[in-house]
Amino acid sequence: MGHVTATILDGKATRDEIFEDLKVRVSALKDKGITPGLGTVLVGDDPGSAAYVRGKHNDCAKVGITSIRRDLPADITQEKLDATIDELNANPDCTGYIVQLPVPKQLDENAALERIDPDKDADGLHPVNLGRLVLGKEAPLPCTPRGILHLLRRYEVPIEGAHVVVVGRGVTVGRPIGLLFTRRSENATVTLCHTRTRDLGAEVRRADIVIAAAGVPGLVTADMVKPGAAVLDVGVSRTEDGLRGDVAADVAEVAGFLSPNPGGVGPLTRAFLLTNVVERAERVAASLG
């Protein structure tokens, strides 16, 4: 690789700062008799999903949040998945929970997300919460988009008036991130691109901030990046050569800021999942007076 110009956006260091804050807040909740609990529903044995869920529970142990795991076989029926969701909706120890995505093909992912009690939706992906976000009302924010914004602010990357190009239209990143960037508190302008965008290079070249979340290894190359732009590599693909992000290595020679992958946005996805759980526990504590 040639000369690296980019400032590296360090997701692990930023995550550690968030964890320090969460430890204090969880301790204060426990003093009030409330222990936050994170639930996860994992269907099947995909090694990537299993690793993410394991990581989430390791994080819980670090900050003092109770772990509630529901691991289900890959061939489960929708009825069985629904029953697990209903159980977590009713479980008083579970402050918030997630259904790890993707779920096996025989299951209806959207139906599962819709069945989650919106108050316990730790991912911020329930249609009610996404709708609240559209309306500018208070809602748990989707974890990866929240992590992206936090990382940009932490490194003082200008967002106000920036042109943001998002590559990828998935439910966890591409679709919701535009809602956050275009809020009146951010005032960015967003272009949402995807695998059928006619001239991806031309779109990305106009960006001050690039969010690469298509899950296509090396999709964003140096020739597509405006010198000095911030490039956040969010896509993950498991290839024969190991984990690959969406951003080619030579982008570091052109970009002004670069979030690596691994070690960039991923750790913040996990940190904001716990933050969403702690915030719900704090709302419950406040309602109890």
Of the candidates 4, 76, 101, 192, which one interacts with ligand LMY7XDAE according to CB under 6 A?
A: 101
Bridge partners, residue 98, by sequence: 40
By CB under 6 A, what part of segment 120-179 binds ligand LMY7XDAE? Answer: 123, 143-144, 172
| Active-site annotation holds for 100 | yes
| Of 236, 234, 174, 198, the residue nearest 49 (C-alpha) | 236
Contacts with 225 (C-beta within 8 Å, 6 or more apart), sequence order: 204, 205, 207, 210, 231, 251, 254, 255
Under rule CB under 6 A, residue 266 binds ligand LMY7XDAE: yes
Q: How far is the CB of 264 from ligand LMY7XDAE (least distance, A)?
A: 6
Tell me whether residue 44 is annotated as binding: no
Tell me whether residue 33 is annotated as binding: no
Half-sphere exposure of 199 (CA within 13 A, CB side): 4
Under rule CB under 6 A, residue 95 binds ligand LMY7XDAE: no
Of the candidates 24, 51, 74, 249, which one interacts with ligand LMY7XDAE according to CB under 6 A?
A: 51
Bridge partners, residue 69, by sequence: 40
| Active-site annotation holds for 78 | no
Tell me whether residue 168 is annotated as binding: yes
Under rule CB under 6 A, residue 267 binds ligand LMY7XDAE: yes
Long-range Cβ pairs for the range 195-199 (8 Å, 24+): 197/167
Alpha-carbon span 164 to 213, nearest angstrom:
13
Alpha-carbon span 198 to 204, nearest angstrom:
12
| Active-site annotation holds for 226 | no
Of the candidates 126, 150, 226, 270, which one interacts with ligand LMY7XDAE according to CB under 6 A?
A: 270
Residue corresponding to tokens 């994080």: 59
The alpha helices in the chain, defined as continuous H runs, are 11-31, 47-63, 78-90, 109-115, 127-134, 143-154, 174-181, 200-205, 265-288
Alpha-carbon span 76 to 137, nearest angstrom:
36
Under rule CB under 6 A, residue 100 binds ligand LMY7XDAE: yes
Q: Which stretch binds ligand LMY7XDAE (CB under 6 A): 26-34, 48-56, 89-97, 275-283?
A: 48-56
Given the residues 59, 100, 120, 121, select the one marked as catalytic.
100
Site string for ligand LMY7XDAE, 53-92 (x = CB under 6 A): --x-------------------------------------
Q: Are 151 and 261 in contact (CB under 8 A)?
A: no
| Of 216, 210, 211, the residue nearest 246 (C-alpha) | 216
Given the residues 59, 121, 123, 233, select the one marked as catalytic.
123
Query: Can you give the binding site for ligand LMY7XDAE, defined by CB under 6 A?
Result: 51-52, 55, 98-101, 123, 143-144, 172, 243, 261-263, 266-267, 269-270
Active-site amino acid positions: 56, 100, 123
Annotated binding site for NADP(+): 168-170, 236
Annotated binding site: 168-170, 236
